[in-house]
Structure 1
Amino acid sequence: MKKLLNILFLLIAVGLYAQNEAAFQKGNQLYNEGKYLEAIEQYQSIIDSGMHSAELYYNIANANYKLNKIAPTVYYYEKALQLAPDDADIQSNLAFAQNMTIDAIDELPEAGFSRILNNWIGKLNYNSWARVAVLFSFVFVLTFITYYFGTRANQKRYFFILSFIALTMMILSTVFAFRQKTMDTNDQPAIVFAVETQAKTDPNFTSEQVFVLHEGTKVQVLQAFGDWKKIQIANGTEGWIPAEDIKEL
């Protein structure tokens, strides 16, 4: 029975893949014919089925760009960049899309050492840093055992130094893993989809206005309260806006 169920699931998966591949090719055809809205519908049907890829998000962003839809253009380029962060075409097109936005917000400067450290830590994800820490823990155990049971002075000195280096790298990798985890948890970007939205000091419409944002601007979500989201913009200023005015990445 279990084998039959596995075969059934496999057949369903193959069928879904074939269906999505056909929709993707149809979307590309419609895009090349200049039927951008119809192409978006084809791409969206793939997303709705639970399939995701950088190429899919890139294509739907291109179609929205052709329709001059700023917010979804930026949103889907950002989604594509999350899956392919080193893709030069996505980076270039995202830069063009961001030039379409109205808001010009100066980015809060980050201290030199902190920026370098975060960039270095960001080269690996949380799980990768954890695996590096485990690897160095094994190296530490092996080198320390060799040092402890060594008989020659030069050999003991050599493996003591190696064990100390391995221990240091294990501790650093563990710290980096937790820092990366914290960075990932705190990183909750979103794109403004409202044509214009007012950020308030408190989560209600009667509170004082802090600033105004327009579609396509990227923000960080800090907190949720009812139908409101507390956000932070690039210069560090915070405010509350209606949750329906943004779409989280």
Structure 2
Amino acid sequence: MKTKITYLLFVLISSFSFVFGQENTTAFEAANKAYNDGNFPEAITQYKAILKTGKHSAAIYYNLGNAYYKSNEIGSSIYYFEKALQLSPNDEDIINNLAFAKNMTIDAIEPLPKTQLSKFVNRITNTFTYNQWAWMAIIFGFLCVISFLLYQFSYETLKKRIYFLISFIAFLFILGSVAIAYQQYGKAQADRPAIVFAKETAVKAEPNLRSDEVFVLHEGTKVQVLDTVDNWKKIQLIDGKIGWIIAEDVNEL
């Protein structure tokens, strides 16, 4: 399993000095030293001390994930790798180490099958964030206005047709971009991923201990939180199964 701790120690330390301040830089150095010495509990304590100051980075979460993995705490390891991935979604080291950690989990849950059309639509809509789609709508808006003005002030028939066509196409792209941005925003607002931290936990049909057990989950499984009632969370798996789990058994990302 790749660790990249030594790399982070020498390459990122200067950025820590600038962004996080001398105190957090010292804690980061101490955490890296503890990790390299094999003192993983101390490394975890030091990394978490930095997080408590309100300073967050993919590097800290990544190193925490590695430290927990070395400590054989798979749930915590996956949790912090997922946190790192939220801040740096294209980092290959994070993706690879998260895959290693997930291979250590017990639950093998297959996602619901998707149609080719659904996969194609998802590829298109997930290309950009909702903010980026909104900016694209603005850009297409400018293009639409400029093309329409050129259409109005052009005297040649061919040019008028071209400008009108460009304006019309840009208008369609505006509608599409706004629709996708709105859909992506709603999806982001509803997204509440969480990681199971309990070694084993029973998922109930209702939010109480007397209800029937519908299935069992184990440490490290990723779920989607749908609702919260008292000390219970309603969760959904990627295969569509739904149930209620004790809130303390999962940590939301």
Superposed pair shares fold, TM > 0.5: yes
User: For residues 187 and 113 of structure 1, what CA distance do their matches in structure 2 show?
Assistant: 22
User: For residues 14 and 190 of structure 1, what CA distance do their matches in structure 2 show?
Assistant: 32
Equivalent positions of 1:210-249 (< 5 A) are 210-249=214-253
Shift of 1:36: 0.6
Secondary structure in 2 matching 1:34: coil
Shift of 1:186: 2.1
Aligned to 1:36: 40
Measured on the aligned residues, the alpha-carbon RMSD in Å equals 1.4
Picking from 161, 164, 188, the partner of 2:192 is 188
Shift of 1:221: 0.4
Residues 30-85 of structure 1: per-residue CA shift (max 9 Å, x gap): 10000110001110011111111111111011000110001100100111111111
Unpaired runs of 5+ residues, structure 2, are 1-16
| AA of the residue aligned to 2:217 | L
User: For residues 120 and 48 of structure 2, what CA distance do their matches in structure 1 show?
Assistant: 38
User: For residues 213 and 198 of structure 1, what CA distance do their matches in structure 2 show?
Assistant: 6
Residues 114-167 of structure 1: per-residue CA shift (max 9 Å, x gap): 222223222211111111101111110111111122211011001011101111
Unpaired runs of 5+ residues, structure 1, are 1-12
The aligned length equals 237
Aligned to 2:49: 45
TM-score, length of structure 2 as denominator length? 0.90
Shift of 1:16: 5.2
Percent identity, please.
49
| AA of the residue aligned to 1:122 | N
Shift of 1:223: 0.9
Shift of 1:15: 9.3
| Correspondence 1:209 to 2:193 | no
Equivalent positions of 1:4-23 (< 5 A) are 17-23=21-27
TM-score, length of structure 1 as denominator length? 0.92
Is the 2:204–2:211 contact (alpha carbons within 8 Å) kept by the matching residues of 1?
yes
User: For residues 48 and 217 of structure 2, what CA distance do their matches in structure 1 show?
Assistant: 27
| Correspondence 1:178 to 2:182 | yes
Moved over 4 A (4+): 13-16
Aligned to 2:104: 100
